[in-house]
């Protein structure tokens, strides 16, 4: 029982770490795109602008989804820990 819980927690922690890294990458992407918009926006045709904005919207949507997944995973971790604590208390 204990091993299963430990493995579960480890897997969930890895998922959380991956999510955080992904979110960081998304944020960096958005910042880079903003800079590109500011630098290039003055010179370049609106077509590229539309493409960049479209890409940014997609990135932001993915970012929101990642945040939701992260919250869900954290809730799962809390539930697993709670169950684990209850199981330990029952054993004593």
**pLDDT attached to residue 45:** 65
Domains of the chain, by residue range, sit at 46-92
Asked whether the predicted pLDDT for residue 42 surpasses 70, the reply is no
Instruction: Judge whether 77 and 16 are in contact, CB under 8 Å.
Output: yes
**pLDDT attached to residue 89:** 83
Q: How far apart are CA 80 and CA 92, in angstroms?
A: 19
Q: How far apart are CA 46 and CA 36, in angstroms?
A: 13
Asked whether the predicted pLDDT for residue 86 surpasses 80, the reply is yes
pTM of the full structure? 0.46
């Amino acid at each position: 029982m204990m091993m299963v819980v430990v493995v579960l927690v480890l897997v969930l922690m890895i998922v959380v770490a991956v999510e955080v890294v992904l979110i960081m990458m998304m944020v960096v992407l958005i910042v880079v795109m903003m800079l590109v918009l500011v630098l290039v926006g003055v010179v370049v045709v609106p077509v590229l602008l539309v493409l960049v904005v479209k890409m940014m919207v997609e990135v932001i949507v993915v970012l929101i989804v990642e945040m939701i997944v992260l919250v869900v995973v954290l809730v799962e971790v809390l539930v697993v820990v709670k169950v684990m604590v209850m199981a330990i208390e029952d054993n004593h």
